Amino acid sequence: MMNQDTLTGGGTGFDLGSFAKGVLLYLLYRKKICFDESEYRKIHLQRDLGIFTGIWFRFPKLHFLAHFSDDPEMQVAVLGQELRVLVDDEEFRGRFDAGKPTVVFVSYDVARAGASKVVLEILKDYAKTHNTVFFSLAGGDRKATFTDCASYCVFELGTRGCQKQLQRQLERVGRVVRPELAIVNSIGAAEALVPLAGAGIPRMQLIHEIADIEDLRRFETVARFADATVFPANFVRDRALNVCAGLDASKCQVLPQGVFEEKDDPEDGGTEGVRSGLLPASWDDGSIVVLGVGGVNFRKGVDLFLMCAGLVGGKFPGEKVRFLWVGFGYESISTEFPAYLRHQLRVTQLADVVHFTGELRDLPAAYACADIFFLPSRLDPLPLVAQQAMDCGLPVVCFDEAGGIPEFLRADPVAAGGVVGYLDVPAAAGKIMAFAADPELRNLVGEAGRRVARSAFDTETYIESIRSLGRRLCVGGVRRTAEPPPPGR
């Protein structure tokens, strides 16, 4: 399905005809082409392009149009789908069913993270009954999946100053259908609320972030322009209300997202293929595996994961306890934090105890390999990976007051057996050693966590709650043109 206004491409050298064509296309269509220009420079441009290097680096869209406007493979590589410029309004109208209502989705990105997974599942469900329009401010590697689900789809409108782009897109959609609802996903996309309000579309904001570490201005935008705001946990809602005095508590709801299943990815060879290459050969079958999942950054507490491994590794009697971290970023040389971790791992001599796998497209094999799930995050709203670990029956060790997961575990006194004081690494190590030493205790706490997950994190309930809220917004008289945007918008 062709769902985006843009162009595509072939070739890398300089040709006067291609350059002239590229300039013409650039002048006509540059505003319709959306992709991550910095990423394009890194992947598709080299410094040895000669006299035109400066031009290409300054105008990557010009390079794309000059060299790749007829190359379907590059369309998919750069834009996530095979596309062409839409010049026929009749074709555009054909994407929409006049007999169906229309809902607009705006997400910060389409990366392989929990927040984009949440909005994808909501989009899939709405696509059964609605025309679905999807916009993202940034990119990500789930473009093709979103494209398959949406009637009309445009990526990378811009993470700053997106309002004019979005207003232009809404005007085009509005000439064909009148959206009855807009769902904005992630606080990073809050800026989109302003043109949506200007178009008179009822607006629901999904917030997956903790306000203490986000830009307060975005929460102020939500307070001013959102008709309803949905948080995944009381902890996340309460921090937002505490930080942003303008938020109306009566418009805030807590709806924990469901445990969205991860499917085995054929590119990874399926679950068995991943399992065979996931653990180092030196880790024999008798090892107790402690799993951590997430991007390698300070907020996720990967350094605390290593500290805990240092306290447990080599001191546990009997079977060995190993620590496995799944997530991108450990080998990065563009940020400092991974360098500190590599130094920490080297100095503490934990190379035989800790293993970083990098990112996995699908996680079922990682959960299958693990015996204990350790969530060392300093702040984490309601991480999908922890929900999935609970659903798999893994006992979860985590820090209290670090996010939403502890509040759900505390709903069951047995499931709460892995919750320790905030950033109390020695206590976490103690819990891990207790679970490692006692298979019955592991199973008992893990099964209690599974019951909590299947009671609190129900996908159908979550999506129906979103739909119910959406219906109330549509009939509640909130369809209006908002007050003028703040100065400087």
- Shortest CA distance to 103 belongs to which of 168, 33, 152? 152
Residues 151 and 233 in one domain: yes
Boundary residue ending a domain (51, 79, 107): 79
Contact 243, 252 (CB under 8 A): no
pLDDT at 450: 95
pLDDT at 275: 43
Contact 384, 260 (CB under 8 A): yes
What residues form DSSP beta bridges with 206? 185, 230
Query: Is 61 a residue whose pLDDT tops 90?
Result: no
Contact 232, 257 (CB under 8 A): yes
pTM attached to this predicted model: 0.79
Residues 129 and 46 in one domain: no
Q: Is residue 10 part of a domain?
A: no
Query: Is 69 a residue whose pLDDT tops 80?
Result: no
Residue 383 has phi, psi (to 5 degrees) of -60, 130
Residues 54 and 151 in one domain: no
- Shortest CA distance to 399 belongs to which of 381, 435, 423? 423
Q: Is residue 235 part of a domain?
A: yes
Residues 448 and 318 in one domain: yes
Residues 107 and 69 in one domain: no
Which tens digit of pLDDT belongs to each residue from 334-393? Answer: 788 989 998 998 898 888 889 998 888 778 889 998 999 999 999 999 999 999 999 999
Q: Is residue 485 part of a domain?
A: no
Q: Is residue 162 part of a domain?
A: yes
Residues 363 and 327 in one domain: yes
**Alpha-carbon distances, residue 35 vs 6, 41, 133, 185, 215 (angstroms):** 10, 11, 18, 19, 24
DSSP letter, residue 34:
-
137 versus 85: the higher-pLDDT residue is 137
Which tens digit of pLDDT belongs to each residue from 250-264? Answer: 999 999 998 876 554
Residues 236 and 373 in one domain: no
Residues 248 and 271 in one domain: no
Residues 129 and 241 in one domain: yes
**Alpha-carbon distances, residue 278 vs 189, 232, 432 (angstroms):** 35, 31, 21
Boundary residue ending a domain (79, 101, 118): 79
pLDDT at 88: 53
Q: Is residue 62 part of a domain?
A: yes
The Cα–Cα gap between 369 and 325 comes to 12
Boundary residue ending a domain (53, 79, 105): 79
Which DSSP string do the residues of 425-489 spell out, in sequence order?
HHHHHHHHHHHHH-HHHHHHHHHHHHHHHHHH--HHHHHHHHHHHHHHHHHTT---PPPPPPTT-
Highest mean pLDDT among 43-47, 355-359, 420-424: 420-424
Contact 451, 412 (CB under 8 A): yes
The Cα–Cα gap between 374 and 183 comes to 32
- Shortest CA distance to 228 belongs to which of 404, 408, 459, 465? 465
Average pLDDT, the chain: 82
Q: How would you write 121-176 as a 3-class SS string? A: HHHHHHCCCCEEEEEECCCCCCHHHHHHHCCEEECCCCCCCCHHHHHHHHHHHHCC
Name, in order, each residue with C-beta under 8 angstroms of 262's C-beta and a sequence gap of 6 or more.
Answer: 362, 363, 364, 388
Residues 111 and 54 in one domain: no
pLDDT at 486: 47
* Tokens coding 28: 């006509």
Give the CATH number, domain containing residue 382: 3.40.50.2000
Contact 325, 350 (CB under 8 A): no
Q: Is residue 486 part of a domain?
A: no
pLDDT at 264: 42
Contact 250, 472 (CB under 8 A): no
For the chain, state the CA radius of gyration: 24
Tell me the average pLDDT across 416-432: 96
Lowest mean pLDDT of 160-169, 226-235, 419-428, name the range.
160-169
Residue in this structure with the two tokens 């899939």, named with its chain if needed: 124
Query: Is 58 a residue whose pLDDT tops 60?
Result: yes
53 pLDDT band (50/70/90 cuts)?
low
* Tokens coding 146: 């979103």
Q: How many domains does the chain have?
A: 3
Q: Is residue 5 part of a domain?
A: no
Question: In sequence order, what E strands does 385-434 have?
Answer: 396-399, 419-420
Contact 56, 11 (CB under 8 A): no
Residue count of the chain, please give it.
Answer: 489
Contact 4, 155 (CB under 8 A): yes
Helices 216-225 and 234-243: crossing angle in degrees, nearest 10, is 100
Residues 365 and 426 in one domain: yes
DSSP letter, residue 371:
S
Q: Is residue 483 part of a domain?
A: no
Q: Exposed, middle or buried, 380 (CB in 10 Å: 0-12/13-18/19+)?
A: buried
- Which percentage of the chain shows pLDDT scores above 70? 80
The Cα–Cα gap between 202 and 100 comes to 17
What residue type is assigned to position 408 of the chain?
F
Residues 101 and 49 in one domain: no
pLDDT at 70: 67
**Domain boundaries, position 248:** 93-258+468-475
Cα end-to-end distance, the chain, whole Å: 34
What residue type is assigned to position 372 of the chain?
I
Which tens digit of pLDDT belongs to each residue from 144-172? Answer: 888 888 888 888 887 777 888 888 889 88
